[in-house]
Structure 1
Amino acid sequence: MDALDLDRQLCFALYSASRAMTASYKDLLAELGITYPQYLVMLVLWEEASAPEGVTVKHLGERLQLDSGTLSPLLSRLESLGYVTRHRSAEDSRSVFIRPTAEGAAAKERAECVPVRIGERTQLDPASMPELLETLRTLTRNLRAEPAPVEPPGPLPHH
Structure 2
Amino acid sequence: MDSSLEPKVEIDLLKLDNQLCFPLYAASRMLTKAYQPFLLALDLTYPQYLVFMLLWEHEQLTVKELGEKLMLDSGTLTPLLKRMEQKQWVSRRRDPDDERSVIIGLTPAGQALQTQACRVPEQLLEKLDMSPTEISALRTQLTHLLAQLT
TM over 0.5: yes
2:78 is the alignment partner of 1:72: yes
Q: Which residue of 1 aligns with 2:88?
A: 82
Q: Which residue of 2 aligns with 1:133?
A: 139
CA distance in 1, matches of 2:133, 2:144: 18
C-alpha distance after superposition, 1:87-133 (max 9, x if no partner)? 11111111110001000000000000101111122211112222111
Cα offset, 1:76, TM superposition: 0.7
Give matches, 1:6-155, under 5 Å: 6-49=16-59, 54-144=60-150
Select between 1-10 and 23-32 the one with higher mean Cα deviation: 1-10
Higher relative helix content? 2
Which SS does the other structure have where 1:94 is aligned? strand
Unaligned 5+ segments in structure 2 are 1-10
RMSD of aligned residue pairs (Cα, Å): 1.2
CA distance in 2, matches of 1:99, 1:17: 31
Higher relative strand content? 2
**Which portions of structure 1, spanning 4 or more consecutive aligned residues, are displaced by more than 4 angstroms?**
none
TM value normalised by structure 2: 0.89
Unaligned 5+ segments in structure 1 are 145-159
How many residues of Structure 1 are paired with residues of Structure 2 in the alignment?
A: 140
CA distance in 1, matches of 2:107, 2:43: 15
1:3 partner letter:
L
TM value normalised by structure 1: 0.84
Which SS does the other structure have where 2:98 is aligned? coil
